[in-house]
Chains A and B, each alone.
Chain A
Amino acid sequence: MLEYILRRCGLALSVGFTISLVAFLLLNFATDPAVTMAGEEATTEEIERLRALYGFDRPLYLQYYNWLVSFFRGDFGESVHWRLPVAELVARHFPVTLLLAGMSLTVTILVAIPLGVLAAMNPNTLIDRIALSIAVAAQAIPNFWLGMMAILLLAVTWPIFPVSGNNTIWHFILPAFVLGLSSVPAIMRLTRTGLLEVMGTDYIRAARAKGYRGGALLFRHAMRNALLPVVSVLAVQFGEKLGGAIVTETVFAINGIGRLAVQSVLIGDVPVVQSLLFLFAMFFVFANLLADLLNAWLDPRIRLA
């Protein structure tokens, strides 16, 4: 197991390293960071001052090396716009995104797993078709549209929830619903497939022979094995939500790191964009790593393979 963990960690690190390089090069080749940071009305002198101040006049490999070393020391640089350390900005915004990601994952679980179970228990029936249709619709509807519709119906027409902001837990319910719904299809299908497969196995037939039926059979015997792959996919979905709530946070004016990323792109705050790009990628990499390790822990066949 230890060897497996080390192997996966090494792989995650190399992916992280590659992403950091790509993020760095993209920002440097797509735009002149000094011009972007200086803003619309900057003079040539101001641009050159920023170029020298932030070291953009040094060779690229040196800039990358310095950035990477600083990053792993916890120094993400300083925001040009906010005049604050990027690490402090991330620390201020991250708890909001973490809460949103956690709540949206809860929505995903509460919607997708019951739907998957219903579909699996009634394969190829109307219930199965309805469950699948809901999943397809959830996948097809863009977040910004669903978000606006949710606001119009549940905050404007029937003012049950607040429209936007992140002051109280109630402000998170609509965005969590919107963000969570986008992950429903994957989890629902996985639950359905897993459960259908498990229900056809020998040990379930044995359990039936012993007289287990209904909820007892489903929850005590079938679900435990059927949900093994679901758990690892949920870990990946959580990583996605940490870095992928940009649209939802913008529509609902939630002051998380997704919105920080959008603001930073719009105002050309290169140090923040660079760090967030890398952080988002690393969330995903570590969520994948966690999923791999969970799978290996739950299913010994994987680590032996």
Chain B
Amino acid sequence: MNLKPFLLCIAATLIAVPPAVADRQDDTLVAAFPREISTTDGLYNTRRENDILGLLIDDALYYVDPETQEPVALSALSHEFVNDTTLVVTLRDDVTFHDGSLMTSADVVYSFNHILDETTETRFHARIDRWLDSVEALDERRVQFNMKYPYAMVLYDFAYYTKIRQEGSYEVDGVTVPDAQRELALGSGPYRVIEYIPGQQVTLELYEGYREDSPKAVASIRNITIRIIGDYATQAAEVMAGGVHWAFNVPTDIAENVGNTGRARFVAGPSMRVGYVALDAAGRSDPDGPMTDIRVRRALNHAIDRQAIVDNIVRGSSGPLSTPCQPIQFGCDESAAVVYAYDPDLARSLLAEAGYADGFELVLTASRDRDVMEALVGYWTAIGLDARLDYLRNVATPRNAGELMAFYGSSGSFSIPDAGAIMPDRFITDQQRVYTGDEALSELVASTNSTYDQDLRKERFREAITRITDQAYWVPVHRYSQNFLLSNEIEYVQPEDGMPRLFMVRWQNAD
């Protein structure tokens, strides 16, 4: 049998197969996400992937301007404080949902009531319920928000913790169904969802009815396909092969190697996330434990070389941290912080002074960034402690039960450029995660968000930062880096707040 024609036929077919290239001619941007998207409804998932998707699909009342980092009106036209706890928001009259219907105050009231209703299980209930008492429509365009106390972060919360849904969106046959918007969330943002394949991809299309004077009306690419590719090496290969244009959170070593090939660009962008070790100063795990001694806490701070961790492990655009917040946030004044220089000898003498010259057993509990955790354990071992890492899947349960002497935490503040997005959650003592036991500090931090006087807020943050760092309640470790792999076909500038805005991606040399 002559196999030559058969083999030639196979070879010709293979050569004729077009490679899987994301086609600029189709005006389709392909982005890769490492984790799956369980829902297109941003009210039901708080992962960063859903934040990115939410900014494409939904327009909230307010939006954080990527240039100024200030909240600007989006679906709202304006707002007015009637008094410290009553806010009236006036809506624009030209905002439409993706089905063409006009957004009215009834939709806004319905959406906020949906979040306030605990039984609907939205992920933002606790956050909004903390300050919002009720919401009512004054007329077709005006909505009144009745707050429980003056709340300085209200516009940021509007921007990131709420979505406006059409009235009745979650009602199916008269019953509230939380999953009703899971597959094809009906929003009012610059892109609309046209296909959702769980675990595989989400396909979006530019919404033609989107108003041109929106702060988000910079979108120029017609279609966006978000593909779920869990393996970063595969993501990198896709970017190099032209199958993906935009990938984020790629590990630094992979991103650097791919960037060096010239087939894609590695961009280390800013991130709002900070990493820290919280110490049991309150003695919740052991009332007489070593962490209750300020000298021990200071020793732990002096023992680590933050710059070396940043240079050798985290890399990218990361940096050492000395504050209990991200220094680019409003109120996060680095000059107010007590800075602990890397000084192992001083750390040893502080331990000896505290009566721990022979060390003690230190257990660091963590659930992420294992390499950084190993480095911390190494530094603490070097000053004579019997340090070990307890790497758990879930730190929250023992943490909330008050069982830990030291645990690693991180916060991205939801990309909100205000220290009020991180410090109250970490230092107000009525929360299970707080291990300071410092009631005075708790009251001080609580007061930072309950006034609209920005100068006063700054002063209170400053005072709180000094107290937190002086008492060494934390070992602040580092600011994070956010690594992007970009195809040479696109232009993208990562905003300062670390929140990726995919609608800002443009084709290179696009008109």
Question: Which A residues fall within an 8 A CB radius of B?
Answer: 31, 35-36, 38-44, 47, 81-84, 89, 92-93, 148, 151-152, 155-156, 159-166, 170-171, 250-253, 255, 259-260, 262-263, 268
Annotate B234-276 by CB proximity to A: 1 below 8 A, 0 otherwise: 1001101111000000000000000000010000000000000
Contacts of B394 in A (CB 8 A): 35-36, 38-40, 42
Q: Which of B228, B397, B401 contacts A42 (CB 8 A)?
A: B397
What are 6 A-B residue pairs whose CB atoms fall within 8 Å in the complex?
Answer: A31-B393, A41-B396, A44-B397, A162-B243, A163-B243, A263-B36
CA distance A253 to B228 in the complex (A): 7
A35, A92, A155: the one within 8 Å of B397 (CB)? A35
Identify the stretch in B12-20, B101-109, B281-289 within 8 Å (CB) of chain A at 4 or more residues: B12-20
Of the listed residues A163, A251, A255, A268, the one surrounded by the most CB atoms of chain B closer than 10 A to its CB is A163
Closest Cβ of chain A: how far from B104's Cβ, in Å? Answer: 29
A40 touches B395 (CB 8 A): yes
Decide: B229 and A93 in contact? CB cutoff 8 A: no
Instruction: Select B21's contact among A152, A159, A259, beta carbons within 8 Å.
Output: A159
Q: How far is the CB of A45 from chain B (nearest CB, A)?
A: 10
Interchain CB contact under 8 A, A36 and B393: yes
Given A81-B38, A82-B198, A251-B231: A163 in contact with B20 (beta carbons within 8 A)? yes
Select B38's contact among A82, A93, A155, A171, beta carbons within 8 Å.
A82
Chain B residues with CB under 8 Å of A47's CB are 397
Measured CA separation A166–B227 after assembly (Å): 11
Give Cα distance in the complex from A35 to B396, angstroms. 9
Contact B241 A163 (CB under 8 A): yes
Interface contact A263-B19, CB-CB below 8 Å: no
Q: A43-B400, A156-B237 given as contacts; is B17 within 8 A of A268 (CB)?
A: no
B residues sitting closer than 8 Å to A (CB atoms) are 14-15, 17, 19-21, 36, 38-39, 179, 182, 197-200, 227-231, 233-234, 237-238, 240-243, 263, 367, 393-397, 400-401, 432
Of A44, A84, A163, the contact of B234 (CB 8 Å cutoff): A163
Closest to A152 in B: B237
Please tell me which one of the listed residues B19, B38, B179 contacts residue A159 in the complex, with CB atoms under 8 A apart: B19
Verify A44–B401 contact, CB threshold 8 A: yes
Across the interface, A253 reaches (CB within 8 A) one of B38, B234, B263, namely B234
- Please pick, from B19, B179, B230, the residue contacting A161 in the complex, using a CB distance under 8 A: B19
**B17/A160 in contact, CB under 8 A:** yes
Q: Assuming the A-B contacts A83-B179, A163-B243, A251-B234, are A42 and B396 also in contact, with contact meaning beta carbons closer than 8 angstroms in the complex?
A: yes
Chain B residues near A41 (CB, 8 Å)? 396
Across the interface, B19 reaches (CB within 8 A) one of A39, A92, A155, namely: A155
Question: Which chain A positions have C-beta within 8 A of B14?
Answer: 160
Complex: A182 Cα to B227 Cα, angstroms: 28
Chain B residue numbers with a CB within 8 Å of A82 are 38, 198
Residue of B whose beta carbon sits closest to that of A160: B14
Bound CA–CA A92/B197 (angstroms): 10
Of A81, A156, A166, A259, which is in contact with the most chain B CB atoms at under 10 Å from its CB?
A156
B243 with A255: CB separation less than 8 A: no
Check B393–A253 contact: CB distance below 8 A.
no
Kindly state the separation between the CA atoms of A40 and B46 in the bound complex, as whole angstroms.
Answer: 12
A41 to B237, CA, bound (A): 33
Query: Closest CB of chain B to A246's CB: distance in Å?
Result: 11
Closest beta carbon of chain A to B439's beta carbon, Å: 22
User: Residue of B at shortest CB range from A159?
Assistant: B19
Specify which chain B residues have a CB less than 8 angstroms from the CB of A43 in the assembled complex.
396, 400, 432
Nearest CB on A from B144, distance (A): 31
Could you tell me if B182 and A83 are in contact, using CB atoms closer than 8 angstroms?
Answer: yes
Chain B nearest Cβ from A87, distance in angstroms: 14
Residues in chain B near residue A148, CB distance under 8 A: 233-234, 237
Residues of the B chain whose Cβ atoms lie less than 8 Å from the Cβ of A39: 394, 396
Is the Cβ of B19 less than 8 Å from the Cβ of A268?
no
In the assembled complex, the CB of B267 is this many whole angstroms from the nearest CB of chain A, namely: 20
Interchain CA distance A163-B38 in the complex, whole Å: 24
Known contacts A43-B400, A166-B200, A250-B230; 7 further A-B pairs (Cβ under 8 A):
A31-B393, A35-B394, A42-B396, A93-B199, A156-B240, A164-B229, A165-B243
A154 to B221, CA, bound (A): 30
A93–B197 CA distance with the chains assembled, in angstroms? 11
Question: Shortest Cβ distance from A264 into chain B, in angstroms?
Answer: 10
Contact A160 B243 (CB under 8 A): no
User: In the complex the two chains form, is B20's CB within 8 Å of A165's CB?
Assistant: yes
Cβ-neighbour of A255 out of B197, B231, B238, B393 (below 8 A): B197
The answer, among A40, A164, A171, A263, for a CB contact under 8 Å with B396, is: A40
CB distance from B161 to the nearest CB of A (A): 15
Q: Is the CB of A163 within 8 A of B237?
A: yes
Question: In the complex, what residues of B have CB within 8 A of residue A40's CB?
Answer: 367, 394-396
Given A31-B393, A40-B394, is A252 in contact with B234 using a C-beta cutoff of 8 Å?
yes
